[in-house]
Amino acid sequence: MTDTTETLRTTPLHALHIELGAKMVPFAGYDMPVQYPTGILKEHLHTRAKAGLFDTAHMGQAFLSGADPAHALERVTPADIVGIKEGMQRYGLLLNDAGGILDDFMTARLKGEASLYLVVNAATKEADFAYIAERLKGLAVLAPQPERALMALQGPAAAAALARHAPGVDAMTFMKAVRGEIDGVPAIVSRTGYTGEDGFEISVACKHAEAIARALLKEPEVLPIGLGARDSLRLEAGLCLYGHDIDETTDPVEADLVWSVGKRRRMDKDFPAAERIVDEILGGTTRKRVGILPEGRVPARDGSEIVDKSGRVVGRITSGGFGPSLNASVAMGYVEKAYSADGTEIDLMVRGKAVPARVAPMPFVAHQYKRANSNPGS
């Protein structure tokens, strides 16, 4: 690794992390907290039981404007962007011409605004923004927002804690996104997150980020949470990590993300590699992302081979670790289609030994989103 603490970027909450005793590590070119003195296990369980505050300011935020930014953005994603209602947001995949996944991202249509609000992953944000700007040239203008910070408040007590500083946010439902104020500070607030829990993502100007974070951390339910627990929480929730579970070698069907391909888009076939992807939706693929439950507590890490009972390699783990909520190891990975059914018995090669495991449905821990109805347009 060539990164050093001298060359790493920092978020507006960096000084606060140091003050709180965080262990800092390089991540996506930033110096980020992996855990606090509380420890990853307790941070994870606290988020599931109460509320945790995450620094996500390393992620990329932007506004997309133009005569019709929604139609323009559909040139690079199979998501139904045109169909996003005011005050709502949607998950999307950014695809290359071959249908490989360049990144996953969120798009919001804020009430009364012509521009779209985008959030992309930290490690790919510069490449994402360059790709979108080039592919949409003449149709829409992308304006990155490096002066904005992002943080996430997650857990069953998140709504109550945030409502003390932003009255009314507790009435929001899953995937809503609004402009409002937190302690008088202008903010974009969305009811979503990356843990499977109820919660919010909060975008404010960088100059206000530390004050908002300190105010939320004063609430009795809220603890600061690092990258370690963020990873175990999203893994239990069956959520993909870009660069591990999805990348340019995977497409939406293999990744079991068909739900992110809009129904209208499947009919129109007007997105990258649409013919092949729609054919896969109808006819299946040779491999599929699945959930995996190993026997015992030995974790199967990223890269571990998945083999059948004869020892033949049939896949690979893309994310794996200990699931504190289950008190057991959990993993996800890609396997040949014949081994993708729930309950299929497989072995995982861990330190040269075969660990028995079985394919299992995801999420491993049920999502706790506050939905407006059974199908809230996501």
Q: Is the dihedral of CA 263, 268, 269, 275 positive or negative?
A: positive
pLDDT of amino acid 298: 86
Q: Is the overall model pTM greater than 0.85, yes or no? A: yes
* 3-class secondary structure, 29: coil
C-alpha 336/C-alpha 205 separation (Å) is 46
Residues facing 329 on adjacent strands: 322
What is the mean predicted confidence (pLDDT) over 285-294?
98
C-alpha 375/C-alpha 378 separation (Å) is 7
The whole-chain average pLDDT of the chain stands at 96
| Tens-place pLDDT, residues 191-245 | 999 999 999 999 999 999 999 999 999 999 999 999 999 999 999 999 999 999 9
* 3-class secondary structure, 263: helix
What is the mean predicted confidence (pLDDT) over 163-177?
98
The answer to whether 377 touches 80, Cβ cutoff 8 Å, is no
Structure tokens at 213: 């974070």
- Residue keyed to tokens 């014949």: 338
**Residues of the chain with pLDDT > 90: what percent?**
96
Q: Is the dihedral of CA 274, 279, 282, 283 positive or negative?
A: negative
Domains of the chain: residue spans and CATH: 14-58+147-236 (3.30.1360.120), 286-360 (2.40.30.110)
Least confident of 212-216, 236-240, 295-299, 350-354: 295-299
